[in-house]
Chains A and B, each alone.
Chain A
């Protein structure tokens, strides 16, 4: 499941999480962000062992600002609460799945 989270629950949902979390920083005015949503939804269904979250930066600027997110879509990958990778820009399904599979194999 692709879960919408806010600045308020970011710490609990992401930083306190053990395991892999993909966090998508997006905005409603951003075309490529809207095209990433179905890709993320498919990955969330296909890989239930990985957590997928979304942060709407038009309503939640705090965490995006702290992380220096200045280009969206920006997917920040966390492992055991720490950032390990950052993917900026739209990624088609097969390409994005490659990035996800990397964490399953590891």
Chain B
């Protein structure tokens, strides 16, 4: 039986772990990776103490700080279920193991929302991608599509405008929803064709993506593209726990002490209902969650 299990090791989980280690708690961290979404960030200028740092460099700093402490780290593993048993918690993992703990901190972050159309899974990494920053340059000179209508999609379009020969911006809504400045820049480009009220029906190809079928205001159209960037937002990684109250976006509801609705369960970072999704806020809430768990253990 551990004092604490921390789920996730992005900024929230790592900070929670550092605080837990310093409080000499007996704890485990179960995580897919170290760094979380920070790894995908380009330039970070608002993490206090660093006037400028790249996402990967900050993720590396987090790892180095974490590695100063001895604890049970289970990397490359997903949590599949968290349940309550009497007054303790059972944490089941993708490796088939079950951990027991008196307290839990959920810092599992968010993941890209899937489009859920035929061909999306089959062509992942064969032309379908969720990261224009990483994969964009591999589509130099090709015709591509960006699916989405908010800031992520506009950002991806602005990046791909410089690289691809043509960009279709496939937006399901009647109008784009991102920042006006970005919309203007996208709209002014001769390389971008904006398709509003466009619903993606299917992604197709052979060894790699060759095209996609959309429906625009009810009329079908085939787009011959070799790259498809799906940028329709992020969803919280909260499906493995039913014990706690969530909001309509399935984010875990917490109070100012990082407490969830279940005593002994805390949450921090982008998986929570805190509206501002920032690295420094996630880290701060990770610290709160750990201190809260320590207080709980002291009185139970």
Contacts and interface: CB of A to CB of B under 8 A. Distances in A.
A23 B42 CA distance: 25
A69 B126 CA distance: 7
B137 A29 contact: yes
Given A61-B140, A89-B125, A91-B76, 17 more contacts: A27-B137, A29-B137, A30-B134, A31-B54, A31-B133, A32-B40, A35-B59, A64-B138, A70-B125, A70-B139, A70-B208, A71-B125, A71-B126, A71-B129, A74-B125, A92-B34, A92-B76
Interface in B190-228: 207-208, 227
20 contacts: A31-B39, A31-B40, A31-B42, A31-B59, A31-B134, A32-B40, A32-B134, A35-B56, A35-B59, A57-B138, A58-B137, A68-B126, A68-B208, A70-B126, A70-B138, A71-B124, A72-B134, A92-B34, A92-B76, A94-B76
Interface residues of B, number: 31
- Chain A interface, DSSP helix/strand/loop, else mixed: loop
Interface of A: 27, 29-35, 57-58, 61, 64, 68-72, 74, 88-95
A35 B60 contact: yes
A63 to B, nearest CB: 12
Interface in B16-63: 32-35, 39-42, 54-56, 59-60
Contacts of A88: 125
Nearest to B37: A31
Contacts of B138: 57, 61, 64, 69-72
Given A61-B140, A95-B75, A68 B207 contact: yes
Contacts of A71: 124-126, 129, 131, 134-135, 138
B39 A93 contact: no
Contacts of B140: 61
B11 interface: no
Contact of B33 (A30, A72, A90): A90
A57 B227 CA distance: 17
Contacts of A89: 125
A71 to B, nearest CB: 4
Interface of B: 32-35, 39-42, 54-56, 59-60, 75-76, 124-127, 129, 131, 133-135, 137-140, 207-208, 227
Given A70-B129, A71-B125, A90-B39, A33 B134 contact: yes
A3 to B, nearest CB: 22
Contacts of A72: 134-135, 138
B56 A31 contact: yes
Contacts of B135: 30, 70-72
Nearest to A25: B138
B169 to A, nearest CB: 19
A71 B32 CA distance: 19
A42 to B, nearest CB: 13
A95 B54 contact: no
A88 B131 CA distance: 13
A32 B125 contact: no
**Interchain residue pairs A-B with the least CB separation, the first 8:** A95-B76, A71-B125, A34-B56, A92-B75, A31-B56, A92-B76, A31-B39, A88-B125
A74 B125 CA distance: 9
Contacts of B133: 29-31
Contacts of A27: 134, 137
B39 A32 contact: yes
A64 B137 CA distance: 11
